[in-house]
Amino acid sequence: MFKPQLIGSVRSPYRDTASIPRGLGAKHAAEGVLEILPEFESGLTDIEGFSHLFVIWVFDQATGFELIGKAPTDDRPHGVFATRSPRRPNPIGLTVVELLRRDGCALHVRGVDMLDGTPILDIKPYLSSIPMDALRRGWLAEAEAAKTQVEPNS
Ligand SMILES: C[S@@+](CC[C@H](N)C(=O)[O-])C[C@H]1O[C@@H](n2cnc3c(N)ncnc32)[C@H](O)[C@@H]1O
**Where in the chain are the domains?**
8-129
Alpha-carbon span 108 to 66, nearest angstrom = 33
Q: CA 120, CA 55: separation in Å to the nearest integer?
A: 7
CA distance 96 to 56: 9
pLDDT tier at 147, thresholds 50, 70, 90: confident
Q: Ligand 1 atom 4: the closest Cα is on which residue?
A: 93
Q: Do 93 and 114 meet the contact criterion of CB atoms below 8 Å apart?
A: yes
> Domain 8-129, CATH 2.60.40.10 — does that match?
no
Q: Residue 72 has what pLDDT?
A: 86
For 29-45, what is each residue's pLDDT tens digit? Answer: 999 999 999 999 999 99
pLDDT of 98 over the 80 cut: yes
What residue owns the CA closest to ligand 1's atom 25? 17
Residue nearest atom 9 of ligand 1, based on CA coordinates: 93
* Euclidean distance between CA atoms 38 and 60, whole angstroms: 22
Report the nearest-CA residue for atom 6 of ligand 1.
95
Check whether 152 has a pLDDT greater than 70: no
Tens-digit pLDDT profile for residues 37-95: 999 999 999 999 999 999 999 999 999 999 999 988 899 999 999 999 999 999 999 99
Contact 146, 76 (CB under 8 A): no
Tell me which of 15, 83, 115 to substitute to probe ligand 1's pocket, judged by most ligand atoms within 8 Å of the beta carbon.
115
H-helix or E-strand spanning residue 53: strand 52-58
Residue 8 β-bridge partners: 36, 120
Per-residue burial over 42-61, b = 16 or more CB atoms within 10 Å of its CB, e = otherwise: eebeeeeeeeebebbbbbee
pLDDT band at 153 (very low <50, low <70, confident <90, very high): low
Q: Which of 84, 92, 95 to mutate to test the pocket of ligand 1 (most atoms within 8 A of CB)?
A: 84
- Is the C-beta atom of 30 inside 6 A of ligand 1? no
